Amino acid sequence: MNPHQKNLRVRFAGAAGQGVQTAADLLGRAALRSGRFAYAYADAESRIRGGVNFSQVRVSSEPLMGVTQRCDLLVALSAEAQARCADSLAEHGSLIAARAAAHPRAAPFDLEQLAARAGSRAVASTVGLAVACALAGIERPICLGVVRERFASGGALAEKNAQAVLAGYEAVLGWIRQERYAVPARPEVASRHLWIAGHEAISLGAVAGGVRFVAGYPMSPATGILSDLSSWARDFGILVEQAEDEPAAINMLAGASYAGARAMTATSGGGFCLMCEGVSLLGMIECPAVVVLAQRPGPSTGQPTRTAQGDLRLALHAGHGFFPRVILAPRDVADGFELTARAFDIAERYGVTVFVLSDQLLQDSRAVVPPFDTAGLPRARHLLQPDQLKAMPRYQRYAQTASGVSPQAAPGSSRHVVVVDSDEHDEDGHLTESAEIAARMAQKRLRKAELIRNAKLLAAPEPEGDLDGRPLVLSWGSTYQTLAEARAVLMDRGGDFAHLHLRQLWPLPADRLKSAFERASSLAVVECNPNGELAGLLEQTTLTRIDHLLTRADGRPMHVDELTERIESEVLR
């Protein structure tokens, strides 16, 4: 373990159904309650039982959320998991095996034997959890507390898991010097932070943004958002509808938005493809909408439980004909809250669809983060109120304006009729075949696009590090934390580059980017896809050549060691 980072990397590995993700979640909860940071991500096969899955947790004294490939503790719940993950064990690391293993760094006890003493071999993952907590320096009562909460219904199973915790702590005594792995605690962390998943942060962002209607059809990895909002529906006054398919979901969203509700859907690539006609409908009727597109590898079914950044172009070009849109991409778990909340305001302010590009890594990872700040979030609605409508002699849903944004009213809120039509329409909303009116409406949509292009939707992106005469590495989405950590490692080695991360992917601030590009010695882009979707878009909009494309396209996330090596050999050489 790098003492400078003060973190313990724990990998729980085993078959689906052996409690791998539960153990990782409980370790994160225990870390938080003991005053430590934690970050966890999962690597899961697309199956309900069997195979080899793992969840990797970093317990640290600082908020480290980069993806790591090596682990200090490998808690292997099966022989197959041990064989598959053995190469991930760091040089100084230790193996906690399910059964006695002929490994030079194996612990002198095995999980199944300890679990059997606790009452059932099925609680082996809880024994592994207890061993990890003990080595991290987390007090036994805290570990026992999170386990009892998970099995709060009581009964024999709860007691067996409690005994498993005691067995794990006792096994560590006399085996190894615990300070070898112990992570310093910071008491203020326990009282001021949250342990939360990416999909939960995005869902809470939707609540903060004022969502009132959600329609969707379950599709990994977006399903967590639909589940979250469904479970909170009564508490927050949200109507959540599981549609019969994706086209129905996007059309329900359009109807709810037309009626005046802030509305959203969440899906992944294959499901979004089925929504494209509905996206075009939203463009024509100029109704605000938020679409969370949680990316996974394609084409077609691809790898349902893996991660990718391959749908940027899909979101940019979805739907036929031209109409303005906005594309945002959270950079980490906490950012999912803010960007999703802001997406609703942007959508309603300009009468457009806002896409929030997430991915499996961000959706399913968990982190200890500070409480979300809602003070700076916009709260105003942009619909005309009854008193405003009463004062208007006439209301036109698609009135020609200098900005291209027409005043929006909800039907039934006044004596005025609110008309919507999926065909080209006049200012009142009625179908038209007039060439002159069609041309004016096309120009109206262009003016709106220009307004959005020049608007300050988010704070302007600023490079991290000195840019002049140095390489500039750009990133988007969930690669941010891993790249930021790789940069810190390289700076310790004497290598330096500037890092520019983009949260707003469309419209791109082309002039500002081009100015930054001119100051850099070379340009590189990091993204998890085979073809460099952002890189190509940057070249197209800034007319600047990208020198280095650092991609990964196997469905696994970039990790710190990988990026450190590639930047050092390809960008800084």
At 40-99, the pLDDT tens digits run 999 999 888 889 999 999 999 999 999 999 999 999 999 999 999 999 999 989 999 999
Q: What is the mean pLDDT of residues 162-172?
A: 96
For the stretch 331-362, pLDDT in tens is 999 999 999 999 999 999 999 999 999 999 99
Q: What is the mean pLDDT of residues 455-470?
A: 94
Tell me the longest C-alpha to C-alpha distance in the chain.
86
Distance, CA of 252 to chain centre:
25
Residue 571: what residue type?
V
Report yes or no: 406 and 348 within 8 Å, Cβ to Cβ: no
Q: The tokens of 138 are what?
A: 């987390």
| CA trace torsion 389, 390, 394, 399 (10° rounding) | -10
Residue 1, pLDDT above cutoff 50: no
Say what the pLDDT of residue 2 is: 43
Angle at the Cα of 406 (from 379 to 204), degrees rounded to 5?
Answer: 25
Residues facing residue 363 across a β-bridge: none
β-sheet with 50-60: strand ranges across: 89-97, 71-76, 7-16, 50-60, 37-43, 366-369, 194-197
Q: What is the mean pLDDT of residues 26-35?
A: 98
Q: What is the mean pLDDT of residues 202-212?
A: 98
β-pairing, 498-502 vs 548-551, is unpaired
* CA atoms of 357 and 328, how far apart (whole Å): 6
Q: What are phi and psi of 264, to 5 degrees?
A: -150, 165
Per CATH, 7-192 and 196-369 having the same topology is answered no
Residue 178, pLDDT above cutoff 70: no
For the stretch 426-450, pLDDT in tens is 999 999 999 999 999 999 999 999 9
β-pairing, 37-43 vs 50-60, is antiparallel
Q: Write the burial class of residue 454 (CB in 10 Å: 0-12 exposed, 13-18 middle, 19+ buried).
A: exposed
Residue whose entry in the numeric block shows the structure tokens 């008491």: 187
What three-state secondary structure class fits 345? helix
Share of the chain above pLDDT 90, in %: 93
Residue whose entry in the numeric block shows the structure tokens 């508490």: 235
DSSP strands (E only) in 98-234:
194-197, 213-216
* CA atoms of 277 and 258, how far apart (whole Å): 17
Report yes or no: 448 and 499 within 8 Å, Cβ to Cβ: no
Closest by alpha carbon to 316, among 345, 376, 276, 343?
276
* CA atoms of 167 and 551, how far apart (whole Å): 44
* CA atoms of 490 and 235, how far apart (whole Å): 47
Place 32 in a pLDDT band, splitting at 50, 70 and 90: very high
Place 376 in a pLDDT band, splitting at 50, 70 and 90: confident
- Percent of the chain that is helix, strand, coil (3-state, to 5): 40, 20, 40
Say what the pLDDT of residue 379 is: 86
| Average pLDDT of the chain, as a whole number | 95
For the stretch 218-233, pLDDT in tens is 999 999 999 999 999 9
Closest by alpha carbon to 308, among 473, 475, 479, 474?
479
* CA atoms of 89 and 111, how far apart (whole Å): 18
DSSP strands (E only) in 61-170:
71-76, 89-97
Say what the pLDDT of residue 439 is: 98
Q: What is the mean pLDDT of residues 401-408?
A: 97
Place 147 in a pLDDT band, splitting at 50, 70 and 90: very high
CATH superfamily name and code, 7-192: Pyruvate-ferredoxin oxidoreductase, PFOR, domain III (3.40.920.10)
* CA atoms of 53 and 48, how far apart (whole Å): 11
**Sign (positive or negative) of CA dihedral 182, 95, 143, 196:** positive
Q: pTM for the full model?
A: 0.96
Count CB-CB contacts under 10 A for residue 387: 8
Residue 318, pLDDT above cutoff 60: yes
Residues facing residue 311 across a β-bridge: none
Say what the pLDDT of residue 3 is: 40
Top CATH class of 471-571 equals alpha beta
* CA atoms of 413 and 404, how far apart (whole Å): 23
Closest by alpha carbon to 137, among 19, 4, 6?
6
* CA atoms of 352 and 342, how far apart (whole Å): 13
| CA trace torsion 484, 490, 494, 500 (10° rounding) | -30
Residues facing residue 9 across a β-bridge: 58
Residues 6+ apart with CB under 8 A from 69: 88, 559, 560, 561, 562
Say what the pLDDT of residue 177 is: 67
Q: Where are the domains of the chain?
A: 7-192, 196-369, 386-454, 471-571
Q: What are phi and psi of 502, to 5 degrees?
A: -105, 120
For the stretch 259-269, pLDDT in tens is 999 999 999 99
Top CATH class of 196-369 equals alpha beta
